[in-house]
Amino acid sequence: MCAINLFRDFPPKYRSNSTGGETEDEEPMFDPAWSHLQIVYDLLLRFVSYSSLDVKVAKKYVDHSFILRLLELSDSEDPRERDCLKTILHRIYGKFMVHRPFIRKAVSNIIYRFVFETERHNGIAELLEIFGSVISGFALPLKEEHKMFLSRALIPLHKPKSVGIYHQQLTYCVVQFIEKEPKLASVVIKGLLKYWPVTNSQKELMFLSELEEILEMTGMVEFQKIMVPLFRRIGYCLNSSHFQVAERAHFLWNNEHVLNHITQNRQVILPLVFPALERNTRNHWNQAVLNLTLNVRKMFCEMDEELVLACQGKLEEEDSKSSMAAEKRRLTWERLETAASFQPVGGGNISFLVNPATCSVTC
């Protein structure tokens, strides 16, 4: 009865965005048949929640095919239906232990298709909510299968443009993994750096917030594994022309745990971020960012003034070399242009000189 009433094909999606799911500016779509569907969902929820349910008998009906069809419904545009499915799937996962590996694999396949093929699915946030509680129940030490789910499914979920729709749930799942096994922090941060946005500032702000949350849980050994590429990226963020991104990157120095790691590894980190700080003090357009830069620079001076002076001297030396190289290139081009302007141009038996002052070329 449930299968006949619930399992159906959805109409073609006609939303303007190509990413699927509701954005902040779009109203959710409500199924006109919900009053009927709700009754069926309530019956199914009561069935799978029944305390005296004989799982050995029920699994003949709640089989792999039934679960797959339920998961297909998670792409519904109606948030009420997705919410009901979330509760039902969570109950099935908790009660039918025999189906747990299959459910994890099926959800992984949905995520793979979403990330690497379509980037269209309405129920990613709800599926991640289910897995947030599932991950918290994983036994220690974590199985290799569970770590693969993190590296192959959760981390690539940072790639799609629509990550903002489910980023809160995704961050929760990632944090649950790191709480279970802190060594995974470096794996997650490497994944963040791999999918770090270049032109999407709002997405970059989300990444910085998630990064700070992860760094708060990162031990010194794991921090040292990724600090070079990490602070090279943070240096770009400090220097961002988008003032909110630059501000958010500076705020990392307000976190005591992160600041402690930076202090103990300043010999490596300061040379990576000092050029960005110096560029900000010279020409950043936003006064708030400029003030934050001066505060961070002051922190480094209090940590190790000698190192700051060494970095400043090295930067001045590099700037001088860069200026000399630029001047050398300019003079070389001038000589080439002068030489080229007096080269004879062959045309049969006629030779003539090209005068750059009288030769006009429209590009």
DSSP for 130-188, written as a single string = HHHHHHHTPPSSPPHHHHHHIIIIIGGGGSSGGGGGTHHHHHHHHHHHHHH-GGGHHHH
pLDDT at 319: 81
Cα distance between residue 343 and residue 189, in whole Å = 57
pLDDT at 50: 86
> What topology does CATH give the domain 1-180?
Leucine-rich Repeat Variant (1.25.10)
Phi–psi pair at 27, nearest 5 degrees? -75, 140
Rg (CA), the chain: 29
pLDDT at 345: 57
What's the pTM value of the predicted model, to 2 decimals?
Answer: 0.85
State the Cα torsion 312-314-315-320 to the nearest 10°. Answer: 130
Is 208 within 8 Å of 249 (Cβ atoms)? yes
From first to last of the 363 residues of the chain, give the pLDDT tens digit.
676 767 677 777 644 444 455 555 567 787 777 888 889 889 889 988 888 888 888 888 889 999 999 999 999 998 999 999 999 999 999 999 999 999 999 999 999 999 999 999 999 999 999 999 999 999 999 999 999 999 999 999 999 999 999 999 999 999 999 999 999 999 999 999 999 998 999 999 999 999 999 999 999 999 999 999 999 999 999 999 999 999 999 999 999 999 999 999 999 999 999 999 999 999 999 999 999 999 999 999 999 999 999 999 988 888 888 889 989 999 999 889 888 887 665 555 555 445 555 444 444
Cα distance between residue 70 and residue 131, in whole Å = 16
End-to-end CA distance of the chain: 73
Q: Is 335 helix (H, G, I), strand (E, B) or coil?
A: helix
Domain boundaries, the chain: 1-180, 222-334
Give the length of the chain.
Answer: 363
Place of tokens 């000092």: 274
Cα distance between residue 175 and residue 214, in whole Å = 7
Q: In terms of Cα–Cα distance, which of 283, 202, 285, 299 is closest to 250?
A: 299
Cα distance between residue 339 and residue 62, in whole Å = 83
